Amino acid sequence: MLELLSWTMLLLPLCSAAVIQLLLREMADTAIRISVGSVAATFVIALLLLESEDRTLTVQWANAGSFHIEIGLIIDDLSRGMMIVVTGVGLLVHLFSLAYMKEDEARGRYFAGLSIFMFSMTGIVLASNFIMMFIFWELVGFSSYLLIGHWFQKDSAAEAAKKAFLVNRIGDFGFMIGILMLWGILGTFAFREMAGSATVLVDSNSTLTGIAVLLVFCGALGKSAQVPLHVWLPDAMEGPTPVSALIHAATMVAAGVYMLFRLQFSAGIEIFEGFAGTTIAWVGGITSLLAALMATQQDDIKRVLAYSTLSQLGYMVMAVGLAGDHSGEAGMFHLYTHAWFKALLFLGSGAVIYACHHEQNIWKMGGLFQRMRKTTITFAIGTAALMAIYPLSGFWSKEQILEAAHHDQPVLFWLAIIVATLTPFYMTRLFIVAFLGKSRGHGAQEAKEVPPIMLYPLFALSCMSVIAGFTPVAEKLSPAFHHPSHSFSPTNPVFLISLAALLIGISSGILLYRGRDSDPLAGNRLFKVFRNKFYFDEAYLVLVRVFQNAVAVVVHFLDDFVIGNLIVGGLVRSASGVGNLFRKLQSGNLQGYAFLFGAGIILIIYLTVFAR
């Protein structure tokens, strides 16, 4: 039964996508029902599985002699919790999309894409070995490509989709090398068999192992959009907003964190000790800081949220990289809470955008609180959770991460505190500018409350944002939840520092942005750098132009000219040239022929008789 359920959970969305794509192209509404039905079913299964025992199910996928690649499902604490997040958020996003995409002509394709995504994400979560994880890793990238490029007629959407895919490919380049190296080091792809096998080798090969882990981390770098491969995520906001909520906030981008933690969980924390873990933690920390800085100057509501997502992902990666006693678990805990409130925020922003006739600039919004109270309240709850206000879910998980950082890497702790100051700052900015004050744009003035089918998911998510962090709930639902070693106390210095950060962030936000019609910091040079995302995109553009396009032009020229023209063409020309030379000998003159006869004979006689 368990087996059947697990496989159903994996394959149902695939069947749904296949049916929609192959059979129901013309019947969009049936297609939507199938898609929503399948995700609802998987959510139910995920709930059912919560009570099951740990199992690993495998089938052989590709055999080569004595060698096998397997497809397997691993059912344990980690994957069960992750499945709740994935299918739970997924279900709500599907429901939200029902209304959000109602007018879209290609909604059949959209829901097929969502189904493929659900399938791939389930695959990542349940993957029992690295090869299978890589398979689904690529597939989520693909479904993300499809969904970002949903409105492919727009140049910007098509470019964004391409960029997302390519940047992820770069990450996967390292990921695959890492997988292969780890295979060499640990002797297996399967997570279940990694435990223990590492400890033997880790001492003698710690550098090698470290490199392998870092290469595997490259995959997370791409998928979880860490610096310097973060550039695709903000652009990915070109996709429909529910997609941003599901894929680019709650689930897929968290896959990198999940994968790292899965490795840590299976192979043992030891392989993260040393420079590998430190590097990962620092990358996470720097990402969270840079992203938070960039978020302070974004005007597009979705982009603010996107950078905020980057920043929070940086937190999680940092936590996993710290390789402290339970820092990884803290990261996963944050992943879990973040999924709910960030999905809430994105769907909320989707509702706002929907209401404002696809207006995304916050400076053209304003005063939405009067027009759409319910949405605003849910958005406020999400904002509060993201700011980590006690006792919302974000608070608990962020506190765990800060604890861990404080314990292991004080420098990173202070970095995280800066981020904890910036987060309330930009969220306050967002909230004040978009929801309070007076309406500044045409769309905002006409906005009205969204239909109930969009509101229900918001309510459900707000509910989760509030309660998900409490221990009884988290114990049940959070992947690999770990009780904090000491219970929360108001006198804990970490708490006090973070509280101060929160207050500074909120108050400076209120002070700066209350009643403003435009950004007071826009003229500042430093903030201009933030607004321009530290010129990452421009730098990459130069890099691509010089190192790829220019080299490609040169190589193409060499290929055509040297290989094609000089060498091959030269050989052909010399052959026909020699041929023409021979033809010259054929003068038609009898005596010329006789002379050559004689010359030939003398040559041969010389060679045989005299030069012997």
| N residues, the chain | 612
Q: What is the DSSP string of 31-73?
A: HHHHHHHHHHHHHHHHHHHTTSPPEEEEEEEEEETTEEEEEEE
207 binds another protein (CB under 8 A): no
Site for another protein in 551-570 (CB under 8 A): 551-553, 555-556, 559-560, 563-564, 567-568
Among 7, 47, 173, 508, binds another protein (CB under 8 A): 173
Report the Cα 294 to chain-centroid distance in Å. 18
Among 5, 44, 158, 389, binds another protein (CB under 8 A): 158
Q: Are strands 55-64 and 67-75 parallel, antiparallel or unpaired?
A: antiparallel
Q: Which range, of 41-49, 152-160, 228-236, 530-538, touches another protein by CB under 8 A?
A: 152-160
Nearest to 90 by CA among 299, 347, 298: 347
Among 15, 19, 177, 529, binds another protein (CB under 8 A): 177
Site for another protein in 573-602 (CB under 8 A): 575-576, 578-580, 582-583, 585-601
Task: Give the type of residue at 210.
Answer: G
Alpha-carbon torsion (471, 475, 478, 484), positive or negative = positive
| Helix runs in 187-254, H state only | 197-202, 206-223, 232-235, 241-245
4 binds another protein (CB under 8 A): no
Nearest to 347 by CA among 151, 99, 38, 145: 99
Q: Which range, of 172-180, 325-333, 359-367, 418-426, touches another protein by CB under 8 A?
A: 172-180
CB of 601 to another protein, least distance (A): 5
CA atoms of 432 and 411, how far apart (whole Å) = 32
CA atoms of 375 and 434, how far apart (whole Å) = 12
CB of 559 to another protein, least distance (A): 5
Q: How many residues bind another protein (CB under 8 A)?
A: 103
Nearer to another protein, 177 or 418 (CB): 177
Please give the DSSP secondary-structure letter assigned to residue 74. Answer: E
Among 155, 203, 448, 491, binds another protein (CB under 8 A): 155
CB of 199 to another protein, least distance (A): 14
CA atoms of 549 and 523, how far apart (whole Å) = 35
Nearer to another protein, 138 or 300 (CB): 138
HSE value, Cβ hemisphere, 13 Å, CA-based, for 507: 6
Binding-site string for another protein from residue 261 to residue 300, where x marks contact by CB under 8 A and - marks none: ----------------------------------------
- E-only strand ranges, 464-590: none
Nearer to another protein, 217 or 481 (CB): 217
CA atoms of 95 and 89, how far apart (whole Å) = 10
Nearest to 92 by CA among 304, 396, 342: 342
CA atoms of 261 and 62, how far apart (whole Å) = 27
Among 15, 33, 44, 142, binds another protein (CB under 8 A): 142
CB of 532 to another protein, least distance (A): 25
Nearer to another protein, 275 or 593 (CB): 593
290 contacts 313 by C-beta, under 8 angstroms: no
Among 199, 207, 507, 549, binds another protein (CB under 8 A): 549
Among 43, 100, 134, 425, binds another protein (CB under 8 A): 134
List the structure tokens of 361. Answer: 């600039």
Binding-site string for another protein from residue 61 to residue 100, where x marks contact by CB under 8 A and - marks none: xxxxxxxxxx-x----------------------------
Q: Which range, of 188-196, 295-303, 416-424, 445-453, touches another protein by CB under 8 A?
A: 188-196
208 binds another protein (CB under 8 A): yes
Nearer to another protein, 146 or 460 (CB): 146
CB atoms within 10 A of CB 526: 10
203 binds another protein (CB under 8 A): no
Binding-site string for another protein from residue 223 to residue 252, where x marks contact by CB under 8 A and - marks none: ------------------------------
430 contacts 316 by C-beta, under 8 angstroms: no
Nearer to another protein, 63 or 370 (CB): 63
